[in-house]
Structure 1
C-alpha cells in the first residue's frame, strides 16, 4: 500500500501537478511563494520516487528479483540526479569562469560595473560564489536613460544577492536528468520567469515600475552569454510581456501568498505524515 501510494504521489508530482501549476499564471502575482511551491513539488517528487523503490525493497517475503529491481530503479533515479548535477554544475561554472576572464580582459570598470565596448544593448550578470560580475555594454548605456539603467542594474544585483542562479540550476539538473518522463521543461521555464519577477520586484522597490518597464522594452530579446542572467530575457523574450504586466501590479496579494505557502507545506508534510511515517513504523 505504501509503495503504491508513493508511486502515485511521484507520478502526480512529476507530471500533472507541474503542468497544472504552469498554467496557473495567477500565482505569479506572489512570486516568492510560487517559487517555494515549485521547489516543494520538485523535492517531494524526488523523495517519493526514491521512497517508492526503498519501500518496495523492504516488503517482507518479496521475491529477490523484485527486491533487486526496486533497488535498481532507486539507484537509477539517484544516479541520474547525481550525474546530471555534476554535468550541469561543471558546465555552468566553466562557462561563467571563461566569461569572467574575458570580461576582465576586455572591459573597463565603472562603479563596480564592467563596461564592454559593444554596440548591442546588453545588461547581464555572471553569478559566482566570489567575484560575480555585472556587465553593461556601451550600446545599453547609449540607449537607456539614467533611471532605466539604474533600474536594470538593481535587477541584476538582486539576482546576485539572492543567488537565483542556484534555483535555476537545480531545476536545470532535474530537466536534464529526466527530460522525457517528467514535466521538467514547464517547471524550468516557470522557475526562470519567477526569479526574473523577483528581481523585477527588488528593482521596483528602489525606483518604481516605470523605469524598469521602459528598460525591459529597450532590452527585450538582446542576446545573452551562456550561463549569464539578463533582465532583457535573452533566449526567452516571451517572458518580458508577462513581467511588464506583473510590474504594474503593486498589490501585496498576501492571501494568495499564504495559500501558496500552505500548499508548499502540504506537499512536503502531508505525504510524510500519511505515507512515509506508517512505512517507517513497519520497518522499525
Structure 2
C-alpha cells in the first residue's frame, strides 16, 4: 500500500493540486509564503515519486524463506501475480526515468540559462552606455540605485529588465529615462534590484527543471506560471515600499510591451494588468501568509510521517535480516 499511496500522492501533487492552487487568488496577497508553498508541493511531488520507486523495489525484493532478499525480480511474479508485478515494474521504471530526467533537466536549464545570460550581458556591455554616462543620465532619485551593473540602451521604447548572476546587470532603455518621472524610474530600478537581491532566478530555475522532468501526461504548467507571477509580485512589493504604488503602476504600464531576452527578469510582460490591479487592491495579509506557511509544512511533514515511516521500518528490517 505504501507504493500505491506514494504514487497517488506524486500524481496529485504534480497535476491536480498545482492546477487548483493556480486558480486561487489569495497567493497574490501573500506572495512570499505562496512561493514557499509551491516549493513544498514541488519537493513533495519529487520525494513521493522517488519514495514510490523505493517502496516498489522493497516489494520486489521481499525476504525469502531464509530471511534474505530474493535474488531476482522475476521470482516475485508467483507471489504478486503478473498484473501487479507488471504495474510495480512500470512504476519503478517511471521513477528511474523521472530521476534521470530531473538530473538532466537541472543541468540543461542551468547551463542554457547561464549561457544565454552571459551572451546577452556581453552584448549590453558592448552597446550599452558606460557606467559614467549611465550615472549622468539617471534621475537624481534613481542614481543611488544604479550600482555598478546598470546599462542604458539607445532604444526609444521603454523597457527594463535584469540579468541575474555573479556579474548581474540592470538594463533600461533611453525610453525609460525620457518617458518616466524620477519616482517612476526609482520604482522600476528598485523592482529589478529586488529580483537580483533575492535571486528570484534560482527559484524559477528550480520550477523549470521540475516541470521538464515530469512526463507531459502528469505535469502541469500551472506551477511555473504561478511562481513567475509571484516573484514579480515580490519585486513589486519592494518597489512599493520605496516609492508607493502609483509610480510603480505607471512605470509597469509604460514598460508593459517591451521585449526582453530569454533568461532575463522583465518589469513588464503579460502579467502587467493583473499586477497593476493588485497594487490597487487589498494589501498583503499576514493571516494568509501564516496559513500558507502552515500548509507548506504540512505538505512535507504529514506524508512523510504517515507514509514513509512504515516502509522505512520494513526496509530497515529487510536489509538487517
CA distance in 1, matches of 2:184, 2:207: 31
Q: Deviations over 1:33-68 (max 9, x none)?
A: 111111100110010011001101002168714576
Shift of residue 277, structure 1, vs aligned partner: 1.1
Q: Secondary structure at the match of 1:135?
A: strand
Residue 296 of structure 2, aligned match among 264, 272, 282: 264
TM, length-normalised to structure 2: 0.83
Correspondence 1:193 to 2:229? yes
Shift of residue 183, structure 1, vs aligned partner: 3.8
CA distance in 2, matches of 1:164, 1:182: 26
Residue 92 of structure 1, aligned match among 86, 96, 113: 113
Q: Secondary structure at the match of 1:270?
A: helix
Asked whether the 8 Å contact 1:19–1:183 carries over to 2, the reply is no
Residue 196 of structure 2, aligned match among 136, 150, 160: 160
* Counterpart residue number, 1:126: 163
TM, length-normalised to structure 1: 0.94
Q: Secondary structure at the match of 1:184?
A: coil
Q: Secondary structure at the match of 2:172?
A: strand
* Counterpart residue number, 2:274: 242
CA RMSD of aligned residues (A): 1.6
Structure 1 gap segments, 5+ residues each = none
Q: Secondary structure at the match of 1:222?
A: coil
Residue 151 of structure 2, aligned match among 101, 105, 114: 114
- Taking the TM superposition and a 5 Å limit, the aligned residue runs for 1:74-85 are 74-85=95-106
CA distance in 2, matches of 1:2, 1:43: 18
Structure 2 gap segments, 5+ residues each = 64-69, 75-84, 136-146, 317-321
* Counterpart residue number, 2:20: 20
Give the structure with higher Rg (CA): 2
